[in-house]
């Protein structure tokens, strides 16, 4: 059948199983929005307050479900407003398809009104991008874009469509999406046997699991290998929630703000087993920090092997498949002395909890964890509150921690929480924010209220840009340049102005009743949780320092 480009686009999205799009209309995408109106019973369009909010919402939708998140914007500034969200998804390997309109083909390259070379701009932060110059290519391109976004190491793909392409006509035939096959081409018996030999011979193995575990859905395989070889395990920020928080071999997060146990064991192990992680500079950025260990790296992306850290053995392939095959070659191990060492470090790291009247991040997340019946999902902005959310909340199921890791995007969390809440209607989504981050994209409260999304925002309010202030305290002799906010914003009145509900917490005894009230309220809530601006994130490893040179609260 002959259809317009706009009709082909919407039908192709339906072929791919798309049920939700986050976006903002404009002149170059009017034909697309006209078709969305006609198909509004099949595809829900969420009008965000800003295009950046749309890209973060698509990202949050994808992280919460593992499906492709979709966002849509017009040409020029509409398209460029998506770029931060696209880059966020790229850095954390999140499947997303971003669709942008552009001026008509004859106006391209002429500095036309609201024209920008969005494919040129996004080339470094997409897995692939397209500009559609022939309507006959549109259906194929949409199909390819969704495949590329999901296959192998996931990531964002951009499709730029000039306005005349959305009006032109071509033949459309319904096509079943190409099945996503797990990458197994380079999983060889030789590589498996080499890795298995190193693991079987090790006496002090340590597992460092990254976001690849989440992307591959390799949760059960990870537990099986941990239990079989009796190895302590730490997760990167991107793998938080992928492994049971209460497992006796779990040592918490690894890296700059990782647990003391995780960081010390990394420096003491004789074998570091790295699964779906990329040796970020916020985790391990110097070979000398782990010079006593042999290193195994298993990852789906060959470009990551030996990129940041030289390894002794590696396997390239889908983590779920690799671990399934590897487990069969591994011997059951006890590692009694090593486990004893881990437990000693754990006991020494137990911190006395203060029951004074002062509000603390620990208290917040302890009470939040106690109320969680397994239905809570936490998104975060970026900063101290993000680290506290990673350190102190008890995540009970996978894909319940949604956060910008690689790019560290302030203003990410509220949009992401909207995307997650749209995807997980039976869950309760909390956005953990700092007062600085929240100020960047708080306009998305309008989106939450308009769509009656019961997102609960907790602002850990320290009247400062807390993480930057912490660095100024440690490394700049306390010169707090532009990090003390001293704003007069009343967050309770702000959310009420948008049409939501607001609470403020100054005392410990106020917190649980406020949380319960927030949970009972069927709509967006903002809780202003006020803490002291000198509260810091511990432990901490200084930038560039060895991973076992840990700054603890008692050291300061």
Residue with tokens 């990410």: 412
Q: Using DSSP bridges, classify how beta strands 233-235 and 250-253 pair: parallel, antiparallel or unpaired.
A: parallel
Question: Which residue in 204, 196, 277 sits closest to 235, CA to CA?
Answer: 277
Taking a C-beta distance cutoff of 8 angstroms, is the pair 26, 114 a contact?
A: yes
CA atoms within 13 A on the CB side of 293: 29
The count of other CB atoms within 10 Å of the CB of residue 107 is: 16
294 among known catalytic residues: no
Locate 310 and state its tokens.
């030289």
Helical (H) or strand (E) element with 416: helix 413-423
SS3 string, 61-89, reads HHHHHCCCEEEEECCCHHHHCCHHHHHHH
Look up 113 and say whether it is catalytic: yes
> Which position among 114, 133, 508, 510 bears the catalytic label?
114
Active site residue 493: no
Report the C-alpha gap between 196 and 272 in whole angstroms.
13
Q: Which of 113, 201, 310, 331 is catalytic?
A: 113
CA distances in angstroms from 32 to 83, 170, 447, listed in the order given? 20, 15, 21
The answer to whether the beta carbons of residues 518 and 456 sit under 8 Å apart is: yes
Q: Are 438 and 414 in contact (CB under 8 A)?
A: yes
- Neighbouring C-beta atoms of residue 79, cutoff 10 Å: 30
Identify the CA nearest to 503 among candidates 535, 542, 529.
Answer: 529
29 in Cβ contact with 72 (< 8 Å) = yes
Residue tagged active-site, from 96, 256, 422, 467: 467
Known catalytic residue at 391 = no
Residue with tokens 């009709």: 7
Please check whether residue 230 is in contact with residue 249, taking contact to mean a CB–CB distance below 8 angstroms: yes
In the residue annotation, 51 being an active-site residue is answered as: yes
For residue 128, what are the β-bridge partners?
157
Residue 216: alpha-carbon gap to chain centroid:
15
Q: Single out the catalytic residue among 163, 294, 325, 341.
A: 163
**Burial status of residue 4 (CB atoms within 10 A of its CB: 0-12, 13-18, 19 or more):** buried
Q: What residue has token string 């698509």?
A: 58
Exposure of 108 by Cβ count < 10 A (0-12 exposed, 13-18 middle, 19+ buried)? middle
Q: Which residues are catalytic?
A: 51, 113-114, 163, 467
């Amino acid at each position: 059948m002959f259809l317009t480009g706009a009709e082909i686009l919407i039908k192709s999205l339906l072929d791919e199983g798309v049920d939700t799009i986050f976006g903002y209309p404009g002149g170059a995408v009017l034909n697309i929005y006209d078709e969305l109106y006609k198909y509004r019973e099949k595809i829900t369009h969420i009008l965000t307050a800003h295009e950046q909010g749309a890209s973060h919402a698509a990202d949050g939708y994808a992280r919460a479900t593992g499906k492709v998140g979709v966002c849509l914007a017009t040409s020029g500034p509409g398209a460029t407003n998506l770029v931060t969200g696209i880059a966020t998804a790229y850095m954390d390997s999140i499947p997303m398809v971003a669709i942008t309109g552009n001026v008509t083909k004859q106006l391209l390259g002429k500095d036309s009104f609201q024209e920008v070379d969005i494919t040129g701009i996004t080339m470094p932060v997409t897995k692939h991008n397209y500009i559609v110059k022939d309507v006959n290519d549109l259906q194929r391109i949409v199909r390819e874009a969704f495949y590329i976004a999901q296959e192998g190491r996931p990531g964002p793909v951009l499709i730029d469509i000039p306005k005349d392409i959305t009006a032109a006509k071509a033949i459309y035939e319904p096509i079943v999406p190409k099945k996503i096959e797990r990458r197994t081409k380079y999983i060889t018996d030789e590589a498996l046997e080499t890795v298995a030999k190193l693991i079987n011979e090790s006496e002090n193995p340590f597992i460092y699991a990254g976001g690849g575990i989440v992307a591959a859905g390799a949760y059960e395989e990870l537990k099986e290998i941990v239990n079989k070889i009796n190895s302590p395990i730490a997760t990167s920020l991107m793998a938080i929630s992928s492994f049971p928080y209460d497992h006796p071999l779990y040592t918490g997060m690894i890296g700059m703000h990782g647990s003391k146990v995780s960081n010390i064991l990394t420096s003491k192990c004789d074998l570091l087993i790295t699964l779906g992680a990329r040796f970020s500079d916020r985790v391990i950025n110097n070979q000398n920090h782990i010079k006593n260990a042999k290193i195994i790296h298993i990852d789906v992306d060959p470009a990551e092997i030996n990129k940041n850290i030289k390894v002794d053995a590696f396997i390239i392939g889908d983590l779920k498949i690799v671990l399934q095959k590897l487990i069969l070659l591994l011997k059951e191990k006890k590692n009694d002395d090593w486990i004893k060492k881990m437990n000693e470090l754990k006991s020494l790291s137990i911190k006395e909890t203060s029951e004074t009247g002062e509000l603390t991040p620990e208290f917040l997340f302890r009470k939040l964890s106690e109320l969680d019946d397994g239905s809570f999902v936490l998104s975060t902005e970026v900063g101290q509150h993000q680290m506290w959310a990673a350190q102190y909340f008890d995540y009970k199921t996978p894909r319940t921690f949604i956060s910008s890791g690689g790019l560290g995007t302030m203003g990410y969390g509220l949009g992401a929480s909207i995307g997650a809440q749209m995807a997980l209607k039976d869950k309760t989504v909390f956005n953990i924010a700092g007062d600085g981050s929240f100020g960047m994209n708080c306009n998305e409260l309008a989106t939450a209220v308009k769509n009656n999304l019961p997102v609960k925002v907790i602002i850990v309010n320290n009247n400062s840009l807390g993480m930057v202030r912490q660095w100024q305290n440690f490394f700049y002799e306390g010169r707090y340049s532009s990090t003390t906010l001293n704003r007069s914003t009343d967050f309770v009145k702000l959310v009420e102005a948008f049409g939501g509900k607001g609470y403020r917490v100054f005392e410990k005894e106020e917190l649980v009743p406020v949380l319960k009230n927030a949970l009972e309220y069927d709509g967006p809530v903002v809780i202003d949780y006020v803490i002291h601006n000198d509260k810091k994130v511990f432990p901490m490893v200084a930038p560039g320092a060895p991973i076992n040179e840990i700054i603890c609260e008692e050291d300061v």
